[in-house]
Amino acid sequence: MKSKLLYITLACSLLLFTLPTIAQPYGNYYAGAQYAQSDYNEEGISANFEPAMVVGRFGKSFNPHVAVEARLGLGLDEESQFIPELGPAGIDRTLALNSLIGIYLTGHLNLTESSSVYAITGTSRAEASAMAFPAASSTVAEGDFSYGVGANIGILNNIALNIEYMQYLDANHFDLSAIAVGVLVRF
């Protein structure tokens, strides 16, 4: 009789510890997309460029508070500005953000089942191309430490809207930060 009671107690304890995992309406993986308005600053140039990019996200949650995430971003447009400090009379310069890739660790503070605020840190690598009138062009790639903060606002149990500020790079040749909005789906 005592062994039967012990088995029932162990079974109930095991069920109580696994119930939060069973009750989750979604899995440990997520994917999302963001539209990001970036801010690109280059050393020695006073102008700020603000090319838009789209960022794809894919991650795995290890528990409700910690996840690892990979991102791939692609530039959507290029921006041209007159740069007075380049050349004797200044020149027109066009900048295109070609790509962004990174891996990050996120720490979440859950507000509800599908809403959270988070801090994110990791490493990013970005590539940008610059063209100056009449025919000069260059491409530069940099990698650096990244950090940011954001919020996921749940609209369904497995779908959330997302807003985020991210400092992707603070590197030797250029700095890149972005404010982004997007959607996140857990599966």
Instruction: State pLDDT tens for residues 98-112.
Output: 999 999 999 999 998
Judge whether residue 39 has pLDDT over 90: yes
- Which is more confident, 44 or 61? 61
Q: How far apart are CA 92 and CA 123, in angstroms?
A: 32
pLDDT tens readout for residues 126-147: 999 988 876 678 898 999 999 9
Model confidence pLDDT, tens digit, residues 3-32: 554 445 444 444 444 434 444 556 799 999
Q: DSSP labels for 157-187?
A: SSEEEEEEEEEEEE-SSEEEEEEEEEEEEE-
Q: Which amino acid is at 78?
A: E
Whether 85 has a pLDDT exceeding 80, the answer reads no
CATH architecture label of 25-186:
Beta Barrel (2.40)
Whether a cis peptide bond, with omega within 30° of 0, leads into 134 is yes
Average pLDDT, the chain: 85
The predicted-structure confidence for 44-55, as pLDDT tens digits, reads as follows 787 889 999 999
For residue 21, the model assigns a pLDDT of: 42
All structural domains of the chain with their residue ranges: 25-186
Looking at the chain, the whole-number percentage of residues with pLDDT higher than 90 is 60
Best-predicted range by mean pLDDT (75-84, 165-174, 175-184): 175-184
- Note the pLDDT of residue 134: 64
> Has residue 157 got a pLDDT over 60?
yes
Distance separating alpha carbons of residues 73 and 102, to the nearest angstrom: 9
